[in-house]
Amino acid sequence: MNPTTTNQRLLSLDAFRGFIMLLMASSGFGIVQMASAHPGTLWEFIKPQFAHQDWQGCSLWDLIQPSFMFMVGMAVPFSYAKRREHGQSYIGMAWHALSRSILLVALGVMLATRSADKHTVFAFTNVLAQIGLGYFFLFLFTRMGWEYVLSAIILILAGYTWFFVNHPLPSAQDLAAISGMKGTERAVLQGFAGHWSIHTNAAAAFDRWFLNLLPQAQPFQYNAGGYQTLNFIPALATMLGGALTGSFLMRSTKSDKSKCATLFIIGILLLVLGTVLDVRVLPFVGPQLDQYTLLPVVKRIWTPSWAVLSGGWVLILLSIFYLVVEILGMRRLVFPLVVVGMNSIIIYLLHSLCAGWILENLHKHLPETAFPAYWAPVIDRCGVLFVLWLICWWLYKQKAFLKL
């Protein structure tokens, strides 16, 4: 995990990153809104893939964050090999990693605060803050051998499972306190899986202690969606998995076809393992316990089974992009994705800060006929997406790339 040379830029990684960021910036292409307006149609059939799961389970939309975080890890071996080639010392690289961590956390807090009134919102659950919290540790681990990185992944996931299991199951009083709260209907799990229920789990208890140590407009009690600060710990395992993958693609002497097959096979194995951990019917305990789960797949608290399952999906998607770009050579086909993938932080910030302003101006300057009533949700979001892509394309032409 400490290579001294780097190959040419991995275009399939840029294309995959661009695909994920465009999916994020699409705001679901308006499909959720179309499904609500037209029940019983195709829109309603595909809607679940463009919305987060209420709690347990996985959708395409849920895969955006783990894909991005996995690719952050993938880029690390390439980035630091290049820095070594340019003569940067270990101390210099460590300082870069630490400063990047701090900046990403600060950007995450800024985005959490953008709609607040005259006070800072200390929340660390958006993707930039989560990457920032784990990035320095990612750097430290990837300076070691792959055996240490793999061991770290296993220990992180096992330790985080132990942390949750050793937190008491929710009491009747705990469940009564969250009863009727929005989003809790399907998020209170039964039996052993109750350790991963919304608002009553170990990470939620940590946030009620930790966030109240920081200045708050009012005491922190719950994150509305159930997201937690400590998600960055199992998410670090996701980034480390990306680092292992990046190092493998950069250093392996195998053919591109063999590399692609390896990614796909490991992806399938992880998918099977994550599904087995999440299985809801255990025949040996009887049908009366059909709602019990060994280790539920929950993206909102990044359960270890989620890290495994999502890692499998990411590797499968990556293998497809690797096949298309590196093996079949369809580089022109993915150019629109590469334009975005090389400026992923820019499109994330612009979408977070300017999407509403862009939409307002589209309606202000385009004729009403450009927004037919039936297609309005789709046109609104695709219009914003196209403007964001044009900005990334212009920056690409100027060779202007934001690098933290």
The DSSP 8-state label assigned to residue 204 in this structure reads H
Please state, as a whole number, how many other Cβ atoms lie within 10 Å of the Cβ of residue 214.
12
Instruction: Per-residue pLDDT tens, the chain, 404 aa: give them.
Output: 654 444 467 899 999 999 999 999 999 999 999 999 999 899 999 999 999 999 999 999 999 999 999 999 999 999 888 888 889 999 999 999 999 999 999 999 999 998 777 788 899 999 999 999 999 999 999 988 889 999 999 999 999 999 999 999 999 898 888 888 888 888 898 888 999 999 999 999 999 999 999 998 889 999 989 999 999 999 999 999 999 999 999 988 899 999 999 999 999 999 999 999 987 644 444 444 445 578 999 999 999 999 999 999 999 999 999 999 999 999 999 999 999 999 999 999 999 999 999 999 999 999 999 999 999 999 999 999 999 999 999 999 999 988 87
What is residue 9's predicted lDDT score, i.e. its pLDDT?
A: 78
The DSSP H or E segment spanning 17 is: helix 11-25
Is 296:193 a contact under the CB 8 Å cutoff? yes
Rounded to two decimals, what is the model's pTM?
0.91
The DSSP 8-state label assigned to residue 55 in this structure reads S
What is residue 285's predicted lDDT score, i.e. its pLDDT?
A: 45
Q: SS3 for 56? A: strand
What is residue 15's predicted lDDT score, i.e. its pLDDT?
A: 96
Phi, psi of 131 (to 5 degrees): -65, -45
What is residue 5's predicted lDDT score, i.e. its pLDDT?
A: 42
- List, as one string, the DSSP characters of 268-310: HHHHHHHHHHH-S--GGG-GGGTT--SS--BGGGT-HHHHHHH
